[in-house]
Amino acid sequence: MTLGRLLIFAGLALILAGACVVLAEKAGIHLGRLPGDIRIEGKRGGFYFPIVTCILISIVLSLISWFFRSK
């Protein structure tokens, strides 16, 4: 596969991922602000770790890779 095709497929994948995020927002699923995401606010700054969002994205990507797995 040439570099040009790889970049085209990567761009299409990003467009698809963006569309999924927009559709999830319209469905009421706010990625990055799910219950269980860790947020600590202090006087001088804050710390934010979206652990539940990371787990959810990992599960979805694992299912997609399992579905498209070649044998």
pLDDT tens by residue, 34-68: 888 999 999 999 999 999 989 988 998 898 888 87
pTM attached to this predicted model: 0.62
Phi, psi of 47 (to 5 degrees): -130, 135
Rg, Å, the chain Cα set = 16
Domain edges within the chain: 1-28, 31-71
pLDDT tens by residue, 19-40: 988 998 899 877 778 888 999 9
